[in-house]
Structure 1
Amino acid sequence: MNASPEMNFEDMLHIRLEVLRREHRDLDEAIAALEHGGRGDQLTLRRLKKQKLSLKDQIVKLEDQLIPDIIA
């Protein structure tokens, strides 16, 4: 029963993935609020959408690392 308190690499990837998903969701809500409220200028919306796309790319990259390749 000498379990190591350290996390393995896969656990760290899962946590990072969840953080990125949360940030992506938050950005999505912020963008929607700015678009529907009419308070956001186009530059701010473009910047937020670009940031959201970058997060999505990072999410996909991490998911690819976590999901093993299946050879059909």
Structure 2
Amino acid sequence: MAQTENDALRVELAQLRQEHRDLDVAVEALAATSNYDALQLQRLKKKKLMIKDRIAVLEDQLFPDIIA
């Protein structure tokens, strides 16, 4: 894998990790309110899960499992 491509993947990975943390905080804050919108909470959790899946794909590309 070319170094520039590798660097681009690392930048995207860092951005996705930050977005995942931000969504985690938003989900916790929304759930802590007394009358939260369940649909909005579900959407945030779904988006968070999609980001987590993308993070896993990027990590697999950057750090492949090599069986020695």
TM-score (norm 2): 0.89
* Segments of 4+ moved more than 2 angstroms: none
Equivalent residue pairs, number? 66
SS at match of 1:8: helix
Q: Once superposed, what is the RMSD of the aligned Cα atoms? A: 1.3
TM-score (norm 1): 0.85
Structure whose alpha-carbon radius of gyration is higher: 1
Gaps of 5+ in 2: none
Larger helix share, 1 or 2 = 2
Gaps of 5+ in 1: 1-6
Structure 2 matches for 1:1-72, cutoff 5 A? 8-72=4-68
Q: Could you tell me the percent identity over the aligned residues?
A: 55
